[in-house]
Amino acid sequence: MSDFPREARVVIVGGGIVGCSLAYHLGKRGCREVVLLERRKLTCGTTWHAAGLVGQLRATHNLTRLAQYTTNLYAGLEAETGQATGFRQRGSLAVASHAERFEELRRGAAMARCFGLAVEVLTPSEAGALYPLLETKDLVGAVFLPKDGQTSPVDTAQALAKGARAAGVRILEDAPVTAVLHRAGRVIGVRTPQGDIAAEIVVNCAGMWGRDLAASCGVAVPLHAAEHFYIVTEPMAEVSPNLPVLRDPDSRAYFKEEAGKLLVGWFEPKAKPWGMEGIPPDFSFDTLPADIEHIEPELERAIHRLPALGKAGIKLFFNGPESFTPDNRYLLGEAPELKNFWLACGFNSIGIQSAGGAGKVLADWILDGHPPMDLWDVDIRRTMPFQRNRRYLRDRTVETLGLLYDMHWPFRQVETARGVRRSPLHDRLAATGACFGELAGWERANWFAPPGIKPEYRYSYGRQNWFEFSAAEHRAVREAVGLFDQTSFGKYVVEGPDAEAVLDRISANNIAVPPGRCVYTQWLNERGGIEADLTVTRESETRFLVVTSAACQTRDLAWLKRNIPGEARVAVFDATSAYAVLGVMGPLSRALLQSLTDDDLANTAFPFAASREIDLAYARVRATRITYVGELGWELYIPSEFALGVYDAIVATGAQFGLKHAGYHALNSLRVEKAYRHWGHDITEEDTPLEAGLGFAVAFGKERPFIGRDALQRQRDAGIKRRLATFALDDADRMLYHNEPIWRDGELVGRTTSGMFGHTIGRAIAFGYVEDHGRIVEPEFLRTGSYEIEVAGDRIPARCTAGALYDAKSERIRM
Ligand SMILES: Cc1cc2nc3c(=O)[nH]c(=O)nc-3n(C[C@H](O)[C@H](O)[C@H](O)COP(=O)(O)OP(=O)(O)OC[C@H]3O[C@@H](n4cnc5c(N)ncnc54)[C@H](O)[C@@H]3O)c2cc1C
């Protein structure tokens, strides 16, 4: 007790594989005074019972980079620390038993190649040769990743802990953190039965306990435990130690050789949430009761795939808990609610293969003040405060466990815990045939089914059932007028004598404009990377309205608040719930709206980027002439209780103008034709406005320096080494989504960032950054050369351009 630490720079809460990896990487970076506190014994939570699969291919490039890093780290850990890890690299084989799954695997293989992973696409008989126990009769193909591995989770965590200790980290067991101490919005330490430890930084690596630990200090960490099952057979003569890991996602099963036995685990479609009353504090190296009935159908499918399994004795029915998040991606970063409270939890059953990379990037993020790469996929700031709601988490967890092996359909919508956030217009839109998708809890109309058609998705990799309906919405916006419900926008009011100065320093564009102007801008970090992409509307001398996407509501507010100097006289209010937003877009939008207002909407009186309050129907609304679809149009910001009245008036009058309801899929197809970027896909904190073709929105010459200006100036002077370009496929039948490899004159030069079918252009369109071996990329490089996009292994010729494919001069939005 006497040497129990009383202070530390960093306290890590939790000694599972993630906490151990963070400790290891902080130690490696030379960070002193790091203390890891484990409630009971290292690995006693979830880590000890993991199956130990270490795959490398993830859904995005950066997550794949992290998994690759993990593999390389584990491969060398034993030699480095002297602690055996059980790591072996025998590869992994994924099989497909229907054409759509094979397309998914081939798209994944193309992506893997583009990310630099070794990958082979195999026929069923080639797969059978690699895995002789496999039933191949009903397979259509397979993909093999020879460098994938498997490891012993306990030994690997212990090796990381050993490496951490060697680097000076103190690891204390039987040291539960009972409270996170904080003052004035910032962490100051932790409480344990052995006494308090004052700390600058506290990191929540508490696994399935992470939600409640965070909640105790006012932080929302949406995760929930679920039961997770596998079996281990008796030794099987047919099982050779050289077998790769086998995944059969259509049977929802994975198979791993383990000392002559087979470990078979599942990601069943309907999971069993666990720990509804909180995770028991004394849970340690415990298991949950076996539920053979629950896994029986899965076991039968597994026996079909591996008939030898049917004859093997089963030594162990295992059931252990793991934590899952609402979108099946883990949670990393600093909590927006509490300064210096960081987290790394909610690993959705891939915590072993993610721990190495997650620990590395989190250590860098903590010590450098920014992540070493774009980590938006796993950033805690993508979550919403409501998501800590237990009932919501429990209901969603039923679905999330199975997502790993579910078909990763384009446009797939979650099916559980729906109807959380609804616009005031929700029921009206539903009555009009809306098919809703979910984002950040919002129900949003993605497309509208004509009368007689059920508003329901039928997924595929080709044109889905809503393709023609969305095309009609798209055309209505181009040719007449469309109505979008954009209520889900994040909206903040920024008010006070210093509001202009604060926002102007954060915004790359000049927002010191006269009242009544709307400015499109990026918020940059010190490295010139794009932290946010939004509009700032000046309502008065002292009041601004900031509008961002629904997905960024938490993130952009956190960025704004973090960048307000302590002495600034400014208040920020999240007004997201205060306003409904209607987008009235298309060449006839002026005529339609003019029939409902006495205010003058003529181009001279109400030019592009103007914004002011007008009478509309019986309401007073803010009308802003701006567009994300590339047509004349207005966004209407309507106090929520007036929304229905305004909507009804617009719809009643709209009939004579050919008004059509339009959904988010049409919004997407319209914006890709206009080359409007989407934050999170086309632009991230790794990309600068100059690379993204957004230099027009950077006010280099404005009086106040803005965050990121110096970095951008340096880049402008040195030349740009990657440029975002637009691609349109020659073959109108193929579809683009994202992460497709881009080839120029037979050389890989990039990958797509987002894609959608453009109905006016009549083909699939995508964006992607193009590079030239680290050399400066001039626009000429985009115009010359012959480009192809690889779709599921086929290279499709494509046209490449720097700008928009539709109305490149933006004449239509200014008419
Ligand atoms: C059946 C099963 C199979 C799996 N198979 C794989 C696989 O093949 N590959 C893969 O990548 N992943 C797999 N996983 C997932 C993997 O096991 C987890 O994602 C990973 O172990 C999570 O690690 P962690 O460190 O976040 O959590 P944990 O291992 O649970 O560690 C959290 C630690 O925090 C401690 N703690 C909690 N509260 C406090 C407190 N207040 N004070 C101090 N300490 C505290 C706990 O005691 C615990 O030791 C599997 C999981 C299961 C259940």
pLDDT tops 60 at residue 142 = yes
pLDDT of residue 95: 98
Whole-angstrom Cα distance, residue 705 to residue 762? 43
pLDDT of residue 288: 97
pTM of the model: 0.97
pLDDT of residue 1: 57
Mean pLDDT, rounded, for 204-222? 97
pLDDT tops 90 at residue 682 = yes
Mean pLDDT, rounded, for 336-355? 97
Q: How high does pLDDT run on average in the chain?
A: 97
Which H or E run includes 535?
strand 530-538
Whole-angstrom Cα distance, residue 19 to residue 16? 5
- Count of beta carbons in the 10 Å neighbourhood of residue 197: 22
Name which residue sits closest to atom 52 of ligand 1, judged by CA.
50
- Give the model confidence (pLDDT) of 563-620 as tens digits: 999 999 999 999 999 999 999 999 999 999 999 999 999 999 999 999 999 999 999 9
Q: Which atom of ligand 1 is nearest to the CA of 206?
A: 34
Per-residue pLDDT band at 298 (split at 50, 70, 90): very high
Out of 20, 92, 257, 322, give the residue to mutate to test ligand 1, the one with the largest number of ligand atoms within 8 Å of its CB: 322
pLDDT of residue 59: 83
pLDDT of residue 60: 86
Residues 6+ apart with CB under 8 A from 38: 14, 15, 19, 44, 171, 172, 173, 174, 175
Mean pLDDT, rounded, for 784-793? 94
In the three-class reduction of DSSP (H, G, I as helix; E, B as strand; rest coil), residue 414 is classed as coil
Name which residue sits closest to atom 16 of ligand 1, judged by CA.
351
| Beta carbons of 261 and 232 less than 8 angstroms apart | yes
- Give the model confidence (pLDDT) of 83-94 as tens digits: 999 999 999 999
Ligand 1 centroid – CA 340 distance (Å): 23
pLDDT tops 70 at residue 153 = yes
Among the residues of 565-681, which ranges form H helices? 589-594, 643-654, 664-673
Whole-angstrom Cα distance, residue 788 to residue 786? 7
Q: Which atom of ligand 1 is nearest to the CA of 44?
A: 49
Per-residue pLDDT band at 114 (split at 50, 70, 90): confident
Pocket of ligand 1 (CB under 6 A): 13-19, 37-40, 44-47, 49-53, 176-177, 205-209, 213, 228, 230, 265, 320, 322, 345, 347, 349-353
Cα dihedral: 357, 361, 363, 365 (round 10): -170
Token output for 45: 């939570």
Per the rule left: phi > 0, alpha: psi between -120 and 50, beta: everything else, 126 is alpha
| Beta carbons of 47 and 40 less than 8 angstroms apart | no
pLDDT tops 60 at residue 714 = yes
- Give strand pairing partners of 345: 331
The residue whose two tokens read 């078979």 is: 264
pLDDT of residue 792: 87
Q: Which atom of ligand 1 is nearest to the CA of 229?
A: 1
Name which residue sits closest to atom 12 of ligand 1, judged by CA.
350
pLDDT of residue 770: 98
Crossing angle for the helix pair 467-479 and 664-673, nearest 10 degrees? Answer: 60
pLDDT of residue 120: 96
Ligand 1 centroid – CA 207 distance (Å): 5
Mean pLDDT, rounded, for 333-342? 97
Name which residue sits closest to atom 35 of ligand 1, judged by CA.
14
- Count of beta carbons in the 10 Å neighbourhood of residue 351: 24
pLDDT of residue 2: 67
Name which residue sits closest to atom 2 of ligand 1, judged by CA.
50
Mean pLDDT, rounded, for 35-57? 96
| Beta carbons of 732 and 532 less than 8 angstroms apart | no
Of residues 650, 493, 487, 489, the one with CA closest to residue 581: 487
Cα dihedral: 750, 754, 760, 763 (round 10): 50
C-alpha distances (whole Å) from 718 to each of 102, 193, 697, 721, 775 are 44, 56, 20, 9, 11
| Beta carbons of 90 and 246 less than 8 angstroms apart | no
Calculate the CA 583 to chain-centre distance: 26
pLDDT of residue 419: 98
- Give the model confidence (pLDDT) of 304-330 as tens digits: 999 999 999 999 999 999 999 999 999
| Beta carbons of 275 and 206 less than 8 angstroms apart | no
